[in-house]
Structure 1
Amino acid sequence: MRRFFDRLAVHVYRDEEIPRRAPQKSAKPSQPVPKLIGAMRSLVTTSRDYWQSRAELFLKQARLMADYEDDYAYHGVVNQYFPTYDSLSDAELRGYFTWRTAVRRGQIEKRGMSYASLYVYELLHLIGCSSAQDAYEKLHDFCAAYCELDPQIVRYIAEWENEFIIYYGLNPDLIIVRGNGACRQQDDAVLTMLHRSEHVAEEVMAAVCVLSSYRLERSKLYRAHTDDVNVLVLRILDRVAEYYGKHRQVTFFADLIAVARTSPVRLFSSAVFQPSGEEQDRVYQMHPLRRYECVSGYWTLHSYERADGAAQRLGALLRGLDAALRAHYGIAEIQPPKLKKWQTKIIREEIDAFVAEQRAAEARRVHLDFSQLARIRADADVTQERLIVEEELPMPLLSPSQGKAAALAEILPPAAEEVAAQPEMLSAAEGAAELSAPEQRLLRTLLTNGDLAWVRAEGLMLSVLVDGLNEKLYEDFADTVIEGDPPAVVHDYLDELTERYLHGSE
């Protein structure tokens, strides 16, 4: 420390002359700017509102320069984030107005995103436009043309155009026609699911496919068995909804479809924008499920939005059904998704129940065997012959008792006489199906492997009798009991039918 003070005492500090700067080369005199540009620049310092924002200043300057044209030769490229007139040099600014003059005449040239952004900002404020619709058309045409020159602008086009439509209350259909329509398509699908009872299965399934990450409509299984898959998907979704209701705090609809939300929004967040005056309270109904509301200058969005992973959760269920159902129809397998045990259980149970219903319906369905048409025609010919009344022949005189016996012998074949002589055999066991006499006789003939010639001899149709028997016995057996040609009793039901209709016991 002592050495420091000793060294300090040696040096004496006095006033010294400030060295003069070396003479500089004379700068090139700047070119004078047009008076209107000078007046625009002066708005920065002459504005009454010293604390004006960049957006407020831009709007004032844009209105002043709305009709200005220039022919300044500037070949530079300007790239700035959120550019304004004030952020450009005089040369860059004159270059912009020269470029804008050409754009308004239909000559669009790539000169950097700053020029393109400035022009879009002007259109958002309706600068140089007769109306909001006119500004929108110019905005759309410019963006469509400029994106071919500079793809950077593509990422902003949909946002600028859609928010312009909302802010100025233009036709919502423009968002669908001019945009990709993805938002509207999702809203339509959610609306269908909200009012599912008002739509047919095909419409509901179309909505499900829109909301799912798994494209079931492209599946080979779905294209081959659309109706069956539609039924199963809707049943599975109903079961899943029941599970959510019993075991989850969140609802099925909120977790897999969408949930109602209200959130603040800032229109034109990717642009320099200043409302032209005091904001009017208003509501813009973009869709039954999507509404923008402005209150005191603040915008809010009321809509149905999807939870994170909702499309994937719904898609996993659809893929799980697709993978499980392919084995039933003999279609090439696909890798099943990872599902929870309760989800796999629901899918398996619904498939099993559906397959059982199909088999039961198939058993009840009447099948027409067209190969039997020849035999049916032959039976019909016999019936027709028996109905033709031949010329009456003189009958010998018989006693009343002899007459009855002779008539019975003539009409009934021997087997029929035996049945007539034993009327107690016509009634089946208690609890059995009520069969007509020909049906009971046919069933007993089949159970005893008897001769079926009597059917044709009596003018009856064997196929009609068999169908009648199957239909009446289906209520007891839930299956077809007589099959084949010639018909025979199905072996599985032989013993029970024998007990009921031959021995008269249940």
Structure 2
Amino acid sequence: MANVDAIIEQILAASRAKGGRALSSERTYADEPILLRGSQLASYLPEPIRQMRALARRSETRTWSDARLFVEQGHLMEGFEDDFPYEGEFSSYFPTYESMTNPQLRGYFTWRARVRRGEVEQTSLSFAFVYLYELVNGIGATPGEEAFRAIESFWQAYRAFDPTLDRYVRPWLVDYVAYHGLPVAWARPYLNSAHDRSVAVLRRAEQRALEGAPPKGRRRAPRAFDVDPAADDALLAALDALSTHRICEGRLYRDDPDAVRGVTCAVFADLARHYASNRSQGLTESLFGTRHAMPHLMFASAVFYPGGRHADCVVELDETCRYICQNGIWTCDSLHDGGVRSAKLGQVLRAVDRQLRLALDHPNPLKGHADPKYLVKIIDRAIGDYLAWRSAHAPRRIEIDLSKLAGIRSTAAETREALLVDEERSQDEVPIDVTKPVDTQDGPAPDLGLTAEELSLLHDLLGGRPPSAAGTDLLVDSINEKLFDLLGDTAVEFDADGHPALVEDYVEDISDALLPK
């Protein structure tokens, strides 16, 4: 069969050529005939679409649900591609093939053919939903990893045109993983469980607080702060994420984060013990409820037909969420509190923020609210414990008066001399006298044990002259070792250029020892 496009182009070319000879030179333009394929005519309806329409009119399909009819028609049209110029719009709340007109159907299958070739173009949002419904039901992609990746990639591409898809496709991807038994790691990026994970942090912290509570009848010991900084950081972040009062965004936290963290965590622990003793529900439970199973509609807001009963299964998506299928009925075991921030927790954190600013005399105080007296008492006690702990663990400032070191050394030398026994004195015929002049020409100084080279180096440094002795590094080490008893510290060090120099604090001591006045 001849190529239709080539025949159309040949006819148009002949018409243009004929018009060019027949028309006078005064004509600047002329109408040209518009030739279309028969399949591109509005009145033309491809045979697969006729069959799909006929399927909906059969007597046996009258008892089918809309979802089943959509899936059956989708499998019938799975490999169909059209080439129909369509510029219209299509909008439907639950879009299906049956809700489209014939031109809309042809426009959809033309757009879908380009999408399958990797050409994702913006169109009516209802067309995008129909394409996603097909993939969810295994139309156009093998159920399992192939369909999951197809849904994921199309959504990532089309959300650039319309991010409305996010609120639907994210939970559908989670449902798809659970329904088809795919690796749960694929679902975790799309699992909306940040709120539930923060609540889980609070539950664990509450349990630790109750386990560490003193026996009844005994007073609570002052809290030991900064025992587990990582746990305190996690608890403060969870409290800040769940509260209507964002304490970590306040000025006090920027100025003194350690105080905010320590006091807030202490208040939470004491408040947890208070609720355990005086309330029927625990602190976290009273704020966010309990985790429990509720019926779950798989692929909610999508046109989905399962085709049969799903096998019983349990899918642990993460520590906060679990899907359970029993007798074909799905439930979701998780925290069903709506994921909103707690105003009650916000009141607690604001009271902590306010009272701590007052205690620290912060320049930006918060206005007072009518907070419960027991809450203010708990907060003030935690603040007192923290400030006492911080004062006890504050670094000690030690100042050394270097001017008194010489006197201390002299007293120490006299004390040592007084403690020597006669046998120790007899070993040295000449008593050590650090004030005796040293003869650098007669070898080692008998009092300090310095060699001629070492003495020469020290005299050069005292006189501000470059050292004349060789092997300076070894001499410096030896000098420092021999003068340690005199100074109790290093006498010679190397400057930034690598040259030996006397430590400034000990120049006078060394000069007095070598060059007495």
What range describes the TM-score normalised by the shorter chain of this pair?
0.5 to 0.7
Aligned residues: 359
Output the CA distance in 1 between the equivalents of 2:54 and 2:273: 69
Match of 2:315 in 1: 284
Q: Please report how far the alpha carbon of residue 135 of structure 1 lies from its aligned counterpart in structure 2 after TM superposition.
A: 1.6
**Letter aligned with residue 298 of structure 2:** L
**Letter aligned with residue 404 of structure 2:** R
Asked if 1:317 is matched to 2:326, the reply is: no
2:373 to 334, 341, 344: 341
Asked if 1:273 is matched to 2:304, the reply is: yes
1:302 to 293, 313, 333: 333
- Change beyond 3 A, Cα 1:366–1:105: closer
Q: TM-score, normalised by structure 1?
A: 0.64
1:87 to 92, 99, 115: 99
Q: Please report how far the alpha carbon of residue 366 of structure 1 lies from its aligned counterpart in structure 2 after TM superposition.
A: 5.5
Match of 1:220 in 2: 251
Q: Please report how far the alpha carbon of residue 112 of structure 1 lies from its aligned counterpart in structure 2 after TM superposition.
A: 1.2
Match of 1:184 in 2: 193
Structure 2 regions of 5+ residues with no counterpart? 1-40, 209-227, 423-517
**Letter aligned with residue 192 of structure 1:** V
Match of 2:403 in 1: 374
Match of 1:96 in 2: 108
1:327 to 358, 368, 374: 358
**Letter aligned with residue 348 of structure 1:** D
Note the alpha carbon deviations across 1:148-177, whole angstroms, 9 max, x for none.
223443442323333333322333333443
Match of 2:489 in 1: none
Match of 1:108 in 2: 120
Moved runs in structure 1, 4+ residues, more than 6 A? 390-393
Output the CA distance in 2 between the equivalents of 1:251 and 1:333: 34
Asked if 1:58 is matched to 2:70, the reply is: yes
Q: Please report how far the alpha carbon of residue 214 of structure 1 lies from its aligned counterpart in structure 2 after TM superposition.
A: 2.6
Q: Please report how far the alpha carbon of residue 70 of structure 1 lies from its aligned counterpart in structure 2 after TM superposition.
A: 0.8
- Change beyond 3 A, Cα 1:307–1:43: closer
- Change beyond 3 A, Cα 1:258–1:165: same
Structure number with larger C-alpha Rg: 1
Output the CA distance in 2 between the equivalents of 1:41 and 1:327: 76
**Letter aligned with residue 321 of structure 1:** V
Match of 1:159 in 2: 171
Output the CA distance in 2 between the equivalents of 1:122 and 1:51: 21
Output the CA distance in 2 between the equivalents of 1:152 and 1:349: 49
- Change beyond 3 A, Cα 1:307–1:253: farther
Q: Please report how far the alpha carbon of residue 307 of structure 1 lies from its aligned counterpart in structure 2 after TM superposition.
A: 7.4
Q: Which has the higher helix share?
A: 1
Q: Please report how far the alpha carbon of residue 143 of structure 1 lies from its aligned counterpart in structure 2 after TM superposition.
A: 1.9
Output the CA distance in 1 between the equivalents of 2:158 and 2:384: 58
Is contact 1:284–1:292 with CA below 8 Å preserved after alignment?
Answer: yes
SS state at 1:48 partner: helix
Output the CA distance in 2 between the equivalents of 1:311 and 1:233: 16
Note the alpha carbon deviations across 1:326-370, whole angstroms, 9 max, x for none.
2333433243463323222221222123324444556xx754222
SS state at 2:287 partner: helix
| Higher alpha-carbon deviation: 384-393 or 283-292 | 384-393
Output the CA distance in 1 between the equivalents of 2:140 and 2:378: 63
Is contact 1:68–1:97 with CA below 8 Å preserved after alignment?
Answer: yes
Match of 1:193 in 2: 202
2:275 to 221, 238, 244: 244
Note the alpha carbon deviations across 1:173-222, whole angstroms, 9 max, x for none.
33443x4x6x3333332333333349732233333333223332333322
Output the CA distance in 1 between the equivalents of 2:399 and 2:107: 88
- Change beyond 3 A, Cα 1:327–1:98: same
Output the CA distance in 2 between the equivalents of 1:75 and 1:310: 45
Q: Please report how far the alpha carbon of residue 237 of structure 1 lies from its aligned counterpart in structure 2 after TM superposition.
A: 1.1
Note the alpha carbon deviations across 1:455-485, whole angstroms, 9 max, x for none.
xxxxxxxxxxxxxxxxxxxxxxxxxxxxxxx
Output the CA distance in 2 between the equivalents of 1:141 and 1:322: 46
Is contact 1:254–1:306 with CA below 8 Å preserved after alignment?
Answer: no
Q: Please report how far the alpha carbon of residue 39 of structure 1 lies from its aligned counterpart in structure 2 after TM superposition.
A: 1.6
- Once the two structures are superposed, the pairs formed by residues 40-51 of structure 1 within 5 Å of their partners are 40-46=52-58, 48=60, 50-51=62-63
Output the CA distance in 2 between the equivalents of 1:91 and 1:392: 119
Q: Give me the identity figure in percent.
A: 30
- Change beyond 3 A, Cα 1:161–1:307: closer
Output the CA distance in 2 between the equivalents of 1:47 and 1:311: 55
Is contact 2:174–2:188 with CA below 8 Å preserved after alignment?
Answer: no
Match of 1:168 in 2: 180
Is contact 2:296–2:332 with CA below 8 Å preserved after alignment?
Answer: yes
Output the CA distance in 1 between the equivalents of 2:421 and 2:313: 100
Match of 2:442 in 1: none
- Once the two structures are superposed, the pairs formed by residues 122-161 of structure 1 within 5 Å of their partners are 122-161=134-173
SS state at 1:286 partner: strand
Q: Please report how far the alpha carbon of residue 262 of structure 1 lies from its aligned counterpart in structure 2 after TM superposition.
A: 1.5
Q: TM-score, normalised by structure 2?
A: 0.63
Note the alpha carbon deviations across 1:112-135, whole angstroms, 9 max, x for none.
122111101001112111342222
Is contact 2:199–2:284 with CA below 8 Å preserved after alignment?
Answer: no
**Letter aligned with residue 381 of structure 2:** E
- Change beyond 3 A, Cα 1:231–1:168: same
Output the CA distance in 2 between the equivalents of 1:30 and 1:71: 12
Match of 2:417 in 1: 388
- Change beyond 3 A, Cα 1:392–1:221: closer
**Letter aligned with residue 101 of structure 1:** A
Match of 1:355 in 2: 387
- Change beyond 3 A, Cα 1:336–1:172: farther
- Change beyond 3 A, Cα 1:392–1:60: closer
Is contact 1:80–1:113 with CA below 8 Å preserved after alignment?
Answer: no
Output the CA distance in 1 between the equivalents of 2:296 and 2:153: 26
- Once the two structures are superposed, the pairs formed by residues 443-482 of structure 1 within 5 Å of their partners are none
SS state at 1:261 partner: strand
- Change beyond 3 A, Cα 1:373–1:186: farther
Output the CA distance in 1 between the equivalents of 2:62 and 2:388: 81
SS state at 1:283 partner: strand
Output the CA distance in 1 between the equivalents of 2:313 and 2:419: 96
Is contact 2:293–2:334 with CA below 8 Å preserved after alignment?
Answer: yes
2:295 to 239, 264, 269: 264
Q: Please report how far the alpha carbon of residue 308 of structure 1 lies from its aligned counterpart in structure 2 after TM superposition.
A: 8.2
Is contact 1:279–1:297 with CA below 8 Å preserved after alignment?
Answer: yes
